[in-house]
Structure 1
Amino acid sequence: MDIQVLEGALVEVPTADVTGMARRAFGEFVGPGGELASYAFGWSTGSDPHVARLSVGIGAGNPGGGTFHAVIFANEGGHAFSLVDEPFERVPQGGPDLTAHQSRAHEDLPFVWWVTDRVMRHDRRAWWMRHWLLGTTCIQTAETFARREPVLLISHDADDGIWQLIGATAADGSTGKVRHLHHAVDEDASLIDVLDLPPGSSALREDVGRPWTSAD
């Protein structure tokens, strides 16, 4: 099935208390039959509990058009969605803001959830947000943790699901630093391209800005 998830702008601003970053990612969806939708999702580092926000708009200018709003939260090792009344973002393909009740009664709600699933699967910023939601941990070498070296090898262990971030210096288990994976991406956004590595896979690159290739 031929679909397109087109990443748009990423807006990043410090949170009101300056303890983290508030991020909002925008994009467009094109379905196999030319169906259009716009979306926005966002999260704020430092917030507790970890809950993200989502808006999906369809049918701009049409009687049945509207913008659906939801929260995204961790659930049983994955993520889940719940419709809400409070609007999050205005998006180009959207129409009037729908309440949770109106959204549940809308005939196109299954299409909206289908769009949402594809966005979470294909938008790289959604991978970043998902690791934040789930609190994914990683082990970094001391050199990459201190930012003395860039991450050149990243792996996702098949047995325990641990992510490892390694630079030019070989990994030394006695000096590895455990932290949340999303913090490493906060510091080096070029890691975003490999945040969907399946367990048992790894990727490497020659330097920052160079393409990632499979290390398997």
Structure 2
Amino acid sequence: MDIQVVEGALVEVPTTDVTGIDRRAFGEFVGPRGELASYAFGWTTGSDPHIAHLSIGIGAGNPGGGTFHAVIFRHQDGHAYSLTDERFERVPQGGPDLSADQARAHGDLPFVWWVTDHVMQHDRRAWWMRHWLLGTTCIQTREVFERHEPVLMVSHDADDGMWQLIGASDADPDTGKVGHLHHAVDEDQSLLDVLDLPPGRHATRPGDGKPWAVHL
């Protein structure tokens, strides 16, 4: 059996002060030998510093079962994790909430980090969250930036790593706008499918809501 990361619900709720959105994504993990885990991760737009949260649950109903909680933060050019005492979410496969010390002493902690790495690699909402953590910038044509046109081409430059979002109009570098990639996804979640675009590749689609094709 191949490893499966199955995306579940995405819950989006305005913050109490209505200055941002609290996002929580849920899903299930199935390992190659049928190992099960449930997960939830989330972030709050407008929060400073940019720190995301994660819960991984294993062994529901078993003596060694538990729910592990961690924070995710920017580290150098990527991200890192740190166990925390703070409970984030309850997940179906989880058991009792573990403190950071209990989690560090747990024999299944390597499995939990393995699950976490696969979730971050394969859940499209995790790509979105990672771009938020890293503050990834992108150049958008004026028409896309002002939401007059949908994004029809996404490019990830090989030279400088810059992302570009282009609509139906010809791209004019003199009128392009610089913004954050995660804000573009806030407005158009169909971009989730191309947030893992490798450097040197670009993706196109014939119209809003149509499938993306990735090109060299």
**Match of 2:176?**
176
3-state secondary structure, aligned to 2:63? coil
3-state secondary structure, aligned to 1:191? helix
**Match of 1:114?**
114
**Match of 2:51?**
51
**Residue deviations 1:170-199, cap 9 Å, x none?**
110110000000000000010010000011
CA distance in 1, matches of 2:18, 2:156: 32
Count matched residues: 216
Amino acid at match of 1:192: L
Alignment of structure 1 residues 15-164 onto 2, 5 Å? 15-164=15-164
CA distance in 1, matches of 2:64, 2:50: 32
Structural RMSD (CA): 0.7
**Match of 2:165?**
165
Extract structure 1 runs of 4+ deviating beyond 6 A: none
3-state secondary structure, aligned to 1:54? strand
Q: TM-score, normalised by structure 2?
A: 0.99
1:185 aligns with 2:162: no
Task: Give how far 1:160 is off.
Answer: 0.4
Task: Give how far 1:208 is off.
Answer: 1.4
Task: Give how far 1:209 is off.
Answer: 1.3
Amino acid at match of 1:198: P
% identical aligned pairs: 78
CA distance in 2, matches of 1:193, 1:38: 22
Task: Give how far 1:42 is off.
Answer: 0.3
CA distance in 2, matches of 1:214, 1:5: 22
Task: Give how far 1:112 is off.
Answer: 0.1
Task: Give how far 1:18 is off.
Answer: 0.8
CA distance in 2, matches of 1:7, 1:194: 16
Unaligned runs of 5+ in 1: none
Task: Give how far 1:41 is off.
Answer: 0.1
Task: Give how far 1:215 is off.
Answer: 3.0
**Residue deviations 1:117-169, cap 9 Å, x none?**
00000000000000000000000000000111000000000010000000000
Amino acid at match of 1:130: R
**Match of 2:196?**
196
CA distance in 1, matches of 2:99, 2:134: 27
Q: TM-score, normalised by structure 1?
A: 0.99
Amino acid at match of 2:130: R
Amino acid at match of 2:154: I
CA distance in 2, matches of 1:190, 1:208: 8
